[in-house]
């Protein structure tokens, strides 16, 4: 996977986030444990997590990002994550993002899927069009179907929720969300 795809997922998330208003921060989301504000905090934090996972730097939290200029906080964290994956030799590393060693390419795949899927969550929760980047969504769905094992799933959705059935005719991003455990 090319590190540029992370930038594409981040751009999609940034576009959706730019259309979130302060009065929507308490809205519920398809991620049962988070409201919109908490999801924004997670999106910022997950960019810090990806950067720290690949470059070994200290991880920063995204907590509270939604209470300030969350668009700027996300842009800063996203740029740092993108830069870390673009460093010479970064993609050849074995990394440990907190739950075991893996190739940097696997961490990149997780970061892209997490960013893209949470952009879908955010769009859905705030009444925006959730038919996000159909070709990317299809690629991420195919990759997820190959890599996500039952051991990574639980009803609580700590990593991924139990696979749900997407309605007939659902767009590719919604199919991905259902595969990852969202009720679509």
**166 located within any domain:** no
Rounded average pLDDT over 93-102:
89
**176 located within any domain:** no
**108 located within any domain:** yes
What does pTM read for this prediction?
Answer: 0.95
Return d(Cα 42, Cα 22) in angstroms, integer: 16
pLDDT tens by residue, 7-26: 999 999 999 999 999 999 99
Is the pLDDT assigned to residue 135 strictly greater than 90? yes
Print the domain residue range for 73.
4-130
DSSP code, position 102: E
Residue 157 is predicted with a pLDDT of 65
Residue 171 φ/ψ, nearest 5 degrees? -65, 165
CATH number of the domain at 101, please.
1.20.120.450
**40 located within any domain:** yes
**85 located within any domain:** yes
Q: How many residues are given for the chain?
A: 184
- Is 155 exposed, middle or buried, given 0-12, 13-18 or 19+ CB atoms closer than 10 A? exposed
Return d(Cα 184, Cα 174) in angstroms, integer: 6
**156 located within any domain:** no
């Amino acid at each position: 996977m090319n590190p540029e795809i992370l930038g594409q997922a981040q751009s999609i998330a940034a576009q959706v986030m730019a259309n979130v208003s302060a009065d929507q921060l308490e809205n519920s989301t398809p991620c049962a444990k988070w409201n919109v504000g908490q999801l924004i905090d997670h999106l910022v934090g997950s960019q810090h997590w990806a950067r720290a996972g690949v470059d070994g730097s200290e991880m920063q939290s995204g907590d509270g990002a939604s209470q300030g200029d969350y668009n700027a906080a996300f842009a800063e964290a996203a740029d740092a994550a993108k830069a870390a994956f673009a460093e010479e030799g970064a993609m050849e590393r074995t990394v440990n993002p907190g739950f075991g060693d893996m190739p940097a390419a696997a961490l990149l795949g997780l970061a892209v899927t997490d960013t893209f899927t949470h952009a879908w969550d955010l769009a859905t929760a705030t009444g925006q069009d959730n038919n996000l980047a159909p070709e990317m969504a299809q690629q991420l769905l195919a990759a997820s179907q190959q890599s996500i094992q039952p051991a990574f799933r639980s009803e609580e959705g700590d990593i991924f929720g139990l696979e749900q059935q997407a309605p007939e005719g659902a767009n590719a991003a919604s199919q991905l969300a259902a595969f990852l455990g969202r009720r679509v």
